[in-house]
Amino acid sequence: MKKGPAILVLGILASLAAFAAVYYLGTLHCRDMMRGAKPELVWLKHEFKLNDAEFTRITQLHEAYLPRCRERCKHIAEQDEKLQQLLAHSASITPEIQTLLAERAKTRADCEAEMLKHFLEVSRTMPLEQGKRYLAWVQQQSSLHSGGMEQSHGMDDEHHL
C-alpha cells in the first residue's frame, strides 16, 4: 500500500479508536449505575453525594414508603374507575358524583401530604445543603409543583416574571 493512503487510513482508525475509548470510559459510571437493582437510588446517592450510612437510611425509607404508595395508587385507580362509571351513566352532576369528587380531592391531598412527609424525611437524612437542594428539586419535579390549569391559563409564577 502506498504511504499516503496508509497514513489516511491510519488517521481515521486512530480517530475512531479515540472516540470509542473516551466514550467507553465516559459512560462507564453511568452503565454501572444502570446495572444495579435500584438504579434510581444509586443515582440519588451519586447526585446528592451521600455516604454509605445516609444511602442505607434513605434506601430503608424508600422501601418503607413504596408499599403505602402502592396502596394509595390502587385506591386512586378505584376512585377513577368509579367516577368513569358514574359519568358514563349520568348527564348531570349527581350527589354521588359530587361526593366522589370530594373523596378524590381528599385522597390527592392525603397522597401529597404523605409524599411531602417522605421528601422531608429523606432531605433530613442528607447533609444540610444537599437536603435543601434535594427538597427544591423533588418539589419541582413532582406533582407538588402544579402543572395543571393554572399554567395553561398563564398563572404560573414564571409567567409573571
Partner 1 sequence: MKPNQDPENDAHLRTLLRSWVVDTPLPPGFKDSVWRRIERADLQPESPFWAGLMNLIDVSLPRPKVAFAYLTVLLAVGLTAGAWAAQIKTSHAETSLGLRYVQSLDPYHSAAVHP
Residues that bind partner 1 (CB under 8 A): 2-5, 7-8, 10-12, 14-23, 25-27, 29-30, 33-34, 38-44, 47, 62, 65-66, 69-70, 72-73, 76, 108, 111-112, 115, 118-119, 137-138, 141-143
For partner 1, give the closer residue by CB, 74 or 159. Answer: 74
For partner 1, give the closer residue by CB, 79 or 89. Answer: 79
Q: Which three cell numbers stand for residue 15?
A: 480517530
For partner 1, give the closer residue by CB, 90 or 145. Answer: 145
Q: Alpha helices, DSSP H only, in 27-127?
A: 28-35, 39-47, 52-88, 95-125
Shortest Å, Cβ 20 to partner 1? 7
For partner 1, give the closer residue by CB, 1 or 161. Answer: 1
Torsion sign across C-alpha atoms 145, 146, 152, 158:
negative
Gap between the Cα atoms of 79 and 74, Å rounded: 9
For partner 1, give the closer residue by CB, 14 or 96. Answer: 14
Shortest Å, Cβ 95 to partner 1? 26
Shortest Å, Cβ 142 to partner 1? 5
N- to C-terminal Cα separation, the chain: 66
Cell 493512503 belongs to 5
Q: Which three cell numbers stand for residue 146?
A: 402544579
Gap between the Cα atoms of 11 and 117, Å rounded: 58
Shortest Å, Cβ 16 to partner 1? 6
Gap between the Cα atoms of 81 and 102, Å rounded: 15
Shortest Å, Cβ 25 to partner 1? 8
Q: Residue 51 has what DSSP assignment?
A: -
